[in-house]
Amino acid sequence: MNEATLLQEASRVLAARLPAGWKQRVTRLEARPQGRPDAILDVTGPDGARVRVSIEAKSGLVPRAVADLKARLSDFSSDPGLVVSPFLTRTTRERLRAENLNFLDLTGNVRFVLARPGLYVETQGAEQDPSPKRQPGRSLRGAKAARIVRALCDFPPPFPISELADQADVDISYASRLVEWLSREALLGRRPRGPVESVDKAALIRRWARDYEVLTSNDARSYLDPRGVENVVRALSEGVIRGKYALTGSIAANRIAPIAPARLAMLYVDDVGSAAAALKVRPTETGANVMLLAPFDDVVFDRTWKDGSLTIVAASQAAVDLLTSPGRAPSEAEAILEQLAGKAT
């Protein structure tokens, strides 16, 4: 889509969302010196008050480019800015919102806020690009991506790509492609072709949670211990399970960043049947207080740690499991993410 068509379609999308009595007109700047915006939007309120908005038209925009775009618009004028594009990902929209930039994509994702004349328009469009370009990366689904995310969150940078690939047990070409995508998404920092120098751990785990869900990515089985969650914890501390296991969910959260007593014992095990027999729990469809998980990958057992005699998953694994669990679990995840964000990256 060329720029003229994009601006025309963006004007149509905005006009359909303005309240009654509001008018808007887009003027494309044909000859523009370095630093000038692509177009000017004049918005007029019902009382005749008018404001000028600087428009940047982008065929695509990655999150890491938002800060530079904001600086360029600010250098040109103190007028409000508006970014228009055929499609803006959720991460890009979040970054634009953080920079206090208005945005509009042709699927209907719109945030348009003016102080004077006062106006607030926000609508939801598509979450998936209706015309995606074929590019490597773009997903954190699957075991290889999970291993890279876990390594990025569990170890301090810098990470040469070869070292990251070795740690995650993936081929270096895959690691390089995924890291480049994560860099475009502003989830980590690196110089061109250089090592990973910083990681936004909380944002990276939140992004992972869009492509992972603890109860569906793993083989989850529900059980009931009539004696309660504490009985399961007691049995685990006594070593009744002979194979590998690692506690996650609320019990892990209480060991990392305590909030409230756990109502569900959730743990990864290498053999669900033998673990259920050792814990003396029975299968149930309703009222479960024990969840045994056959893991999607052995990465869940990497970097586990001991709290007394209990084995707990790494904080990064606990956080993504809680973010994708029902009930109050996401709020427990936030407490862990705060701790991860506070650590040096």
116 is a domain residue: yes
The Cα 105–Cα 83 span in angstroms is: 8
In which residue are the tokens 């206090």 written?
Answer: 100
On whether the CB atoms of residues 37 and 19 are closer than 8 A, the answer is no
Give the range of the structural domain holding residue 97, as residue numbers without chain letter.
3-123
Q: What is the pLDDT of residue 257?
A: 81
Statement to judge: residues 219 and 169 lie in one domain: no
Cα 303-305-311 angle, rounded to 5 deg: 115
Quick one: 155 and 118 in the same domain?
no
CATH number at 107 reads 3.40.1350
pLDDT along the chain (345 residues), means of 10: 89 94 88 72 93 91 88 84 94 92 96 93 91 69 95 94 94 93 92 90 94 94 95 95 94 86 92 95 93 96 95 97 91 90 63
Helices (H) and strands (E) in the chain, counts: 13, 16
- Hey, what are 84's tokens? 């228009």
Q: Which of 89, 123, 157 is the last residue of a domain?
A: 123
SS3 content of the chain, % helix, strand, coil (to 5): 40, 20, 40
CATH of the domain at 321: 3.30.460
DSSP H or E segment with residue 36: none
Q: Is residue 134 part of a domain?
A: no
Q: Are residues 265 and 328 in the same domain?
A: yes
Query: Are residues 106 and 185 part of one domain?
Result: no
Based on the domain organization, do 221 and 198 belong to the same domain?
A: no
Cis peptide before 117 (omega within 30 of 0): yes
Residue 158 and residue 180 in one domain: yes
DSSP 209-243: TTT--HHHHTEEEEEE-TT-HHHHHHHHHTT---S
Number of structural domains in the chain: 3
Same domain, 75 and 167: no
Residue 129 lies in a domain: no
Q: Are residues 119 and 150 in the same domain?
A: no
158 and 237 both lie in a single domain: no
Query: Which domain-ending residue is among 179, 208, 237?
Result: 208
* Pair 185, 62: CB distance under 8 Å: yes
Last residue of a domain, one of 153, 175, 208: 208
For 17, 96, 193, 204, the CA distances from 110, given in Å and listed in that order, are 9, 11, 35, 24
Domain check: are 226 and 313 in the same one?
yes
Residue 184 shares a structural domain with residue 223: no
Residue type, 58: K
Give the pLDDT confidence score for residue 134 in this predicted structure: 54
Same domain for 173 and 259?
no
Q: Is the residue at 131 inside a domain?
A: no
pLDDT at 233: 95
